[in-house]
Structure 1
Amino acid sequence: AAALHEPLDDVLVYLVVPVQWLLLVVFLRGIDDPGLAILEVAGRTFTMGLLCGVYGINVAHELGHRRNRWERDLARALLLTSLYLHFIIEHNRGHHRRVATPDDPASARFGEPIYLFWPRTVVGSFLSAWHIEAERLRQAGHAPYGLRNEMLRALFLQGLLVAGIGWGFGGFVLQQFLIAAGVGILLLETVNYIEHYGLRRTRTGRGTYGRVMPVHSWNSDHLLGRLMLFELTRHSDHHYKASKKYQVLESMPDSPQLPTGYPGMMVLSLLPPLFFAVMHPRLRRLSAGQPGLELAA
């Protein structure tokens, strides 16, 4: 039965690409309407930011794991709308290898407020992507910062988009676009925060850690988050086998469960004392009885 639905499931994520770009153009053309009140401008910009995060970066995450190059290019087209093209480099080749270790900028530490996590992960992920790409080119015998460098190409494309918006729509529209892209980025990093908060793989040697298991990612089977985020909430299975498409991700029986769906947890994370009060007892119980897991202090 799942195989019968697979073409439609794929079409749904492919369609997000033209829809996201269409909505971005509509936003750019309408945001400088002099008849809009300040709250209307703020509302439209925040909504565009939500679209950048929920449908731009999130669906790009799904497509970025596909084996076909053209699907990964669709992922890049979506990431461009949030000026976050380096995500596909760092996430696929960095985060999935280093998740739930101190070396991963996208894994939140035990007791780390989200307001400290945001700058650490945004800066750390950007620098990590540079390092990963430079190392790839060195190993291939190429100059690390030449034309083959995907980070340089990403920055060039993003620069073209920013310049094009500024030239074609003006400074105010560019400002609102940058704010919307920033909202999308923080939305992504908030999701990263709750997905691995406080979880760490057990060290097995000097600089080495145990295999990534379902217990190293928080899972959620709440319907709203699953529908909004294309099953990203079944994150334990995604990290256990990243090549699985979203429509066949399963709820792993040994994965830690969030007390509510992703939308609720994201709001809760913005209130660190309440978030810690909910999550820390769960983490302590989990780490006490689970081999291969410790608190990410």
Structure 2
Amino acid sequence: MKYLFAIFIPILGFTGLWFQSWLAPGSFYLGFVFIPILEFFLPINSTNETANIRKQQNNAIYFDILLYLNLPLLYFLNFYFLFMLQSQQLDFWIWILLVLNLGICTGVMGINVAHELGHRPGLINKLFSQALLLPALYMHFTVEHNFWHHKYVATSKDPSSARFNESLFHFWIRSITGVYKKSIFLESRRLTQCQLPFFHWKNQLLGQLVLQFCYLGVCYLIAGLLGLVTALGIALIAILLLEAINYIEHYGLQRTLLDNHQFERVSNFHSWNSDHVLGRIFLYELTRHPHHHEKADVKYQHLESKLQSPQLPFGYPASILIALIPPLWFNLMNPRIDPYIR
């Protein structure tokens, strides 16, 4: 039942929209104030479920429903904001804080949940995943993530793996542009294998772009230019949040290039693990990232702690805040990387 607490993200998102004023940041307070403070005092829980519990939970639809509920809740929040812009004249700083609020909601409820569903088989999961990525304008993410990042993680070929001594700000630019480039490359290669030109109606990237432009068009029709700028701002915050998470998940970890010019197999040494309890709940166990890279199709409720993996000293939200100050981040993390350089 612990994953029910994730509902506080849309609740606080809506609280910010409804009350505005000092409550406008909404989900920001939860993600980057309360959780970092509470996780500093709460004990770390590295316990893994037993085989019997895993068997009982494997087909429990409750865990899937929690994911699917994010879709209507996310669209409700975003469109409520857009329709609100029709009737209210917001102070500039309140608008900025509400965009931050909804951007965090879109990153956590949208991209994060889309990531979980994007690894699962079945048309329904794929459709939900793409629909959750739409408000973030990042629908190409799944192709690059599943077919490039998981293959080349912790290597120089992966734009989503942060290099040693690379700042978050540099990583943001390299990763966002790199993910687009790899998505184009992968789709172009797929079409070539199907003996189809790049500009073809079966090009999934072009189809995603059309959907995203249509989404922006709807935002413009609802709230005019301000609605369009709002949608773009929300998407930008969501993308930056995603890539900040990517940054801390693999920072400085590198796979060895073997004599046969192939990289060593991905292991638990190539992702940072975090067992801080609140991050585990609100991000649906994304923080147990080494196990995810070991077996990407394992459902979130079954992901295990890998104590032999490098361990983040703080939870995800606190780590992101620290990463915003590169010298502090390097001083904290670089000494922890040395034992994993083999």
Which structure 1 residue ranges, 4+ long, deviate > 3 Å from structure 2? 2-5, 31-35
Consecutive unaligned residues in structure 2, runs of 5 or more = 1-52
Q: Please tell me whether residue 56 in structure 1 is matched to residue 110 in structure 2.
A: yes
Q: What percentage of residue pairs aligned between the two structures are identical?
A: 42
Deviations 1:13-34 (A, max 9, x none): 0111111111111111114554
Corresponding residue for 1:222?
Answer: 276
- State the distance in 2 between where 1:126 and 1:238 align: 23
Q: Letter of the aligned partner of 1:2 in structure 2? A: R
- Contact kept, 8 Å, 2:253 with 2:340, in 1: the verdict is no
- State the distance in 1 between where 2:295 and 2:334 align: 27
What secondary structure is seen at the aligned counterpart in 2 of 1:81?
Answer: helix
Corresponding residue for 1:294?
Answer: none
Q: Letter of the aligned partner of 1:196 in structure 2? A: H
Deviations 1:134-183 (A, max 9, x none): 10121222223311111111101001111121123200121111111100
What secondary structure is seen at the aligned counterpart in 2 of 1:200?
Answer: coil
What secondary structure is seen at the aligned counterpart in 2 of 1:204?
Answer: coil
Deviates more, 1:226-235 or 1:197-206: 197-206
Consecutive unaligned residues in structure 1, runs of 5 or more = 292-297
Deviates more, 1:3-12 or 1:224-233: 3-12
Corresponding residue for 1:90?
Answer: 144
Corresponding residue for 1:258?
Answer: 312
- Count, aligned residues: 288
Corresponding residue for 1:68?
Answer: 122
TM alignment of 1:76-155, pairs within 5 A: 76-155=130-209
- State the distance in 1 between where 2:339 and 2:125 align: 41
Q: Letter of the aligned partner of 1:51 in structure 2? A: C
**Shift of residue 3, structure 1, vs aligned partner:** 4.0
Corresponding residue for 1:8?
Answer: 62
- State the distance in 2 between where 1:285 and 1:2 align: 32
Corresponding residue for 1:194?
Answer: 248
- State the distance in 2 between where 1:151 and 1:207 align: 31
**Shift of residue 253, structure 1, vs aligned partner:** 2.6
- State the distance in 2 between where 1:12 and 1:245 align: 13
The alpha-carbon distance between structure 1 residues 169 and 107, as it changes in their structure 2 partners (threshold 3 A), is same
- State the distance in 2 between where 1:33 and 1:215 align: 53
